[in-house]
């Protein structure tokens, strides 16, 4: 099974999106609106590397609420 996300620095693999969210620290959101309908949620791996996941605008509003 392919992992959801992997850290290229420490090689830690996050098998699901839920695991990725639970095991990483929220950093912030980089928005590309109004040019795109998605943003990047930035999260820190335990090793300190910042990882990103694509976040639709609707989900971004839920994260910020």
| pLDDT given for residue 35 in this prediction | 75
- Band of residue 62 on the pLDDT scale cut at 50, 70, 90: low
Number of domains in the chain: 1
Pick the closest to residue 23 from 51, 60, 61, 2 (CA basis): 51
CATH number at residue 26: 2.40.50
Does an H or E element contain 27, and which? strand 25-31
Tens digits of residue pLDDT in 7-51: 999 999 999 999 999 999 999 999 877 777 788 999 999 999 999
- The parent domain of residue 56 ranges over 5-64
Q: Is the dihedral of CA 20, 53, 59, 24 positive or negative?
A: positive
With beta carbons less than 8 A apart as the criterion, state whether 61 and 15 touch: no
Give the mean model confidence (pLDDT) for residues 47-62.
80
- Please give the Cα distance from 20 to 18 (Å, whole number): 5
Calpha distance 35→50 (Å, rounded): 24
Question: Is a pLDDT exceeding 70 seen at residue 61?
Answer: no
pLDDT score of 53 more than 60: yes
């Amino acid at each position: 099974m392919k992992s959801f996300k992997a850290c290229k620095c420490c090689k830690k693999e996050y098998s699901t999106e839920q695991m990725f969210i639970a095991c990483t620290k929220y950093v912030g959101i980089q928005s590309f609106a109004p040019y795109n309908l998605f943003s990047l949620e930035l999260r820190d791996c335990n090793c300190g590397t910042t990882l990103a996941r694509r976040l639709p605008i609707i989900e971004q509003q839920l994260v910020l609420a």
